[in-house]
């Protein structure tokens, strides 16, 4: 942790709020050259190419995940149909057996009462 004394703090504070003519001059930079502009342009083009590549990868990823989502929805619908059909298959023989038992009991009761 940097600790500065009160005098240093006051000096920094005054430098911030000083009039423009009292503020220290910014450091001198060398003027940009054509070589600097060429390097900057090349860096921007590289960044643009990388961005386009990332965009293409993102589109492909989105397409693949979208197709995967569609397949999952189809699979879920298929499972629901299978479950419904399985219940129907399982229930129908039970219903037939129950009807057969009721018919047998009815005929037995009719024969006993006559």
Q: What's the chain's Rg over C-alpha atoms?
A: 42
Split into its structural domains, the chain has a count of: 1
Q: What is the model's pLDDT at position 57? A: 93
The domain containing residue 78 runs over which residues?
A: 44-114
Distance between first and last Cα of the chain: 109
pLDDT (average), residues 25-39: 74
Q: 31 in a domain, yes or no?
A: no
User: Do residues 15 and 23 touch, judged by C-beta distance below 8 A?
Assistant: yes
pLDDT (average), residues 2-29: 69
In eight-state DSSP terms, residue 23 is S
pLDDT (average), residues 83-112: 78
Q: 32 in a domain, yes or no?
A: no
pLDDT exceeds cutoff 60 at 1: no
pLDDT (average), residues 29-39: 78
Q: 35 in a domain, yes or no?
A: no
Q: 24 in a domain, yes or no?
A: no
């Amino acid at each position: 942790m940097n600790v500065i004394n009160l005098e240093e703090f006051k000096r920094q504070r005054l430098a911030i709020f000083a009039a423009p003519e009292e503020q220290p001059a910014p450091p001198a930079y060398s003027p940009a050259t054509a070589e600097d502009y060429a390097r900057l342009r090349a860096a921007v083009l590289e960044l643009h190419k990388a961005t386009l590549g990332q965009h293409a990868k993102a589109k492909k990823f989105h397409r693949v995940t979208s197709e995967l989502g569609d397949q999952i929805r189809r699979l879920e619908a298929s499972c629901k149909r299978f479950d419904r059909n399985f219940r129907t298959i399982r229930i129908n023989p039970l219903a037939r057996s129950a009807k057969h038992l009721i018919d047998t009991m009815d005929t037995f009761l009719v024969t006993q009462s006559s």
